[in-house]
């Protein structure tokens, strides 16, 4: 399928330039690092935000930073690492060039969301340009603030349809000095799901918990180097059965958040779910050519799909599930069953009454 032809691209490097461009054109779409290829703009004027980059303010002692929306996640991670800090929600596709604005707009978080929460839990403030070309400041630059309506969290997962993000403030955490990963092999899916549920309700402090079907669990723990071996031994005793400690811990989870398992040309679909629904989802998709990874303790299904995504959309609809296609060739973005959100429609009308910023998704995609 040939790529859609865009009207033209406007590169912007200042928030004021974004506001001018929005006011000047009847239809505006945004582009940052270009890592989420299925979300690429299909029509209208494209605002290229890649030059809108740079850290505006960073206070290591306050555990907060503010940066422009086009700033690559990798640049921020490198800066934080020099001060022993990091973004615990594991922004996906960072190595591929994902930006802060694209991460927030798509509502994406990685494996460690299981322990620390997602992007919605770490954004504390933002500036954005609404559909009328007004620059709006929301939230603040500190962890505790009373800045009125919590627009930053509302914009998570909005795909740019409520406003063009131009500046973002986040809270950060100290980076654990040591990590260990356990690989747990079970006999079948049901036994693996039983282990997953047992671990989720246990007292063990686990950073990440993923299931690769049919029956392999990946478990990550972090903390002080001197106490980690004892914690790992207790966890192994609790799990029982076939448990291995993996040496290449960092490389393994980096590959997970970069979706290294996804073949070139395939679609990547995010499906919010629950651990209780994994069995029926796996039963429905297990006979297909798809690849699946159930992350965040079974609350997010990452589905790799070859070819036409319509069969996957039909399967998700039958299960009353919805999916957001993030990576892949041009085609539908939303799959499965999406329901209208009256509140979202009202917010859309208030922030973008003429529809300059595109059609709002039926649901906010950042909720899971």
Confidence (pLDDT) at 150: 77
Confidence (pLDDT) at 1: 32
Per residue in 230-282, pLDDT (tens digit) is 999 999 999 998 899 998 899 999 999 999 999 999 999 999 999 999 999 99
Per residue in 279-301, pLDDT (tens digit) is 999 999 988 999 999 999 999 99
Confidence (pLDDT) at 40: 79
SS3 state of residue 343? helix
Report pTM. Answer: 0.92
Residue burial 241-266, b: 16+ Cβ < 10 Å; e: rest: eebeeeeebeebbeebbbbeebeeeb
Confidence (pLDDT) at 229: 94
Which residues of the chain are under the pLDDT cut of 50?
Answer: 1-6, 362-368
Cβ atoms < 10 Å from Cβ of 136? 14
- Say which residues have a Cβ less than 8 Å from residue 129's Cβ, sequence separation at least 6: 15, 18, 19, 22, 135, 136, 163, 164, 166
Confidence (pLDDT) at 44: 76
Alpha-carbon gap, residue 223 to 221, rounded angstroms: 7
């Amino acid at each position: 399928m040939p790529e859609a032809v865009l009207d033209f691209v406007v590169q912007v490097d200042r928030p004021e330039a974004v506001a001018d461009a929005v006011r000047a054109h009847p239809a505006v779409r945004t582009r940052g690092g270009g890592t989420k290829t299925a979300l690429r703009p299909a029509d209208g004027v494209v605002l290229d935000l890649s030059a809108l980059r740079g850290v505006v303010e960073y206070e290591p002692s306050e555990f907060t930073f503010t940066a422009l929306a086009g700033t690559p996640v990798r640049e921020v991670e490198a800066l934080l690492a020099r001060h022993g800090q990091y973004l615990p929600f594991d922004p996906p596709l960072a190595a591929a060039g994902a930006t802060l604005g694209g991460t927030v707009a798509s509502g994406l978080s990685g494996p460690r969301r299981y322990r620390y929460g997602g992007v919605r839990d770490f954004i504390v403030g933002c500036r954005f340009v609404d559909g009328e070309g007004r620059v709006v400041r929301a939230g603040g630059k500190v962890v505790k603030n009373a800045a009125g309506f919590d627009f930053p969290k509302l914009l998570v997962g909005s795909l740019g349809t409520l406003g063009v993000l131009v500046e973002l403030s986040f809270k950060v955490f100290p980076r654990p000095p040591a990590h260990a990963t356990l690989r747990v092999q079970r006999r079948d899916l049901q036994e693996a799901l039983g282990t997953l549920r047992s671990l989720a309700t246990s007292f063990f402090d686990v950073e990440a918990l993923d299931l690769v079907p049919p029956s392999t669990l990946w478990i990550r723990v972090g903390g002080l180097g001197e106490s980690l071996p004892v914690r790992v031994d207790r966890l192994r005793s609790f799990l029982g059965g076939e448990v291995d400690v993996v040496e290449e811990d960092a490389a393994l989870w980096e590959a997970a958040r970069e979706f290294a398992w996804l073949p070139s040309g395939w679609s990547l679909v995010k499906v919010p779910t629950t651990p209780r629904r994994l069995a029926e989802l796996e039963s429905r998709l297990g006979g297909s050519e798809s690849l699946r990874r159930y992350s965040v303790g079974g609350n997010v299904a990452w589905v790799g799909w070859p070819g036409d995504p319509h069969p996957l959309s039909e399967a998700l609809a039958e299960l009353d599930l919805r999916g957001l296609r993030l990576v892949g060739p041009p085609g539908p973005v939303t799959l499965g069953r999406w329901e209208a959100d009256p509140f979202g429609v009202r917010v859309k009308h208030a922030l973008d009454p003429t529809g300059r910023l595109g059609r709002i998704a039926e649901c906010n995609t950042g909720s899971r």
